[in-house]
Structure 1
Amino acid sequence: MMFSSKVLFGEAEFSVLDLDGAKALDENLMAYSFTEEGEIFLFGLKHSYKAYKGTINKEKLDKIFRFPDAALIIKPEEDGTFTHSYVSPTVDRRVISRGCRPTPHCPCIGCRIVDMWYTKAPGHMTPAVDVSEARVSPDGELVLPIFEGEEIISKLLMRDPSVRHAFSPNIFDSPLEQMFYELAFLDLHKYPQHPVGKYRLDFAIPDKRIAIELDGHEYHKTKYQRTHDAKRDRWLYGQGWTVLRFTGTEIHQNLDRCLDEICKLVGIERVSRSQQ
């Protein structure tokens, strides 16, 4: 509108903007100053609309022109899955999740960030990702802006121990399970304490029918528990599940080997390995 606006003096027309005096501020940014007639035009607008009660206000203009602190980028893959990437001032663009499928309550870290809310004051909840401001890039990627909470998310993805526990559900039977959940959150889309039949699995990857069981040092060394585990494993095998068992010693001493074994069976590339 400003580019085409004119001020009339008699039969003469004067542009509101100085179209010949444009200045390049950046590669894709030009600045145009107002002409003297344009300044008169602005002065008239100020007086004509000083009692304006419409819907356009400073708050809405600030929202329109705000710049995101970070972004979550979702790329559709040929196999029907999605790859999530994240970029912020402190985190170079990096893949944080592969093989995501559009299922309710997906446990991958990308979907968990989309579902994340934070509060500044009691009763005032704000989504970390503004889905309403999503845009599609020329490459067909969905770009979701993050306007607040970037510092917490970036710390989480950089494995800062000060925030990791806040993203862990409080449903674990043992510290070993919680530790495994927190250390493997980038690589595996795992559901903790997943019910199958009359049993509850330590972790499950349901779409692959993979059960992950962690055997602690004390509880699983009894004859009763070993018999119970064997009975459950036979039932799961009969239902088409693959059961992977790891001891606490294996998790503590060689977590990478455990994750490599699981990811190979699932058929996915380790995200944390590719970031090293």
Structure 2
Amino acid sequence: MPGDLSFGVRDLSDEEIEKCMNPDSLEALDFLRLSYKPPAPLAPVFTPVILLKYDRIFKLLLRVLRLLYITSELFRDTNLRTLQRSGMSNASLRFRIEAQHFVASVVAYFFDTGINLRWKSFEEWLNQVESNLSDRNAGRIISPEELREHHEEVLDEIMHTLLLRKRQQPILKLLEDIFALILTFAKRAHLRALGKTQQRADEPTEVQLYNAFKKKVDVFITVCRGMSEKGGGQTPNRRRTRQRVTRERGTPKRKAP
């Protein structure tokens, strides 16, 4: 890829640094930042706003992939507890199974529906634009500004699916709360697998963690289902794009009855 693509360290507040210092927190890897310096010809297409959107997507996907790894490790830790005969409650077993299923479903939806489908469509559009550049008989040539606009619209659609738009913050917060419960349970399961069963009186039990997890997942699914039914899965940018394309093509004439 042309340009300078690398990882950097974010400028964090004291509170954010404290969260990153906790290896069991959801924010443990938030200090990593995606950095890209495009070459001059690509600068109009990779604006600072667009690069910020890429970084927000990267930050969320890093969290999600970490949860995917941790839930896979849960299987090892819970099996080790069984082998050691340290005891494993029904709530712990259900939590492990349902947490794995939930995280795997979120990962599949984010990557397959949220990113791959939209990016594949964007690549096909880019291929057509490139083909038109070499074809003298092709239609109108896309300008750099139109390319930037379409590029940003694709990112907005991806962010919409990944719950990163401003109006979706309460739903993303709910998802983060679910992830935090999984991380707490994973830490507890790992310590028990190592034979460290001591628990503070103010810490929630595994049954309480599982009940909280179930309630939040039920609310999350209900909210997402309601959003899907209300919005039809179409972002405002996509609707504006279709309206613009319709205007460019012209309204078809109705046939006489």
Q: Shorter-chain-normalised TM-score: which range?
A: under 0.3
**When the two structures are superposed, what TM-score results if normalisation uses the length of structure 2?**
0.23
Structure number with the higher strand fraction is 1
Larger radius of gyration: 1
Higher relative contact order (Cα pairs below 8 Å, separated by 6+ residues): 2
Structure number with the higher helix fraction is 2
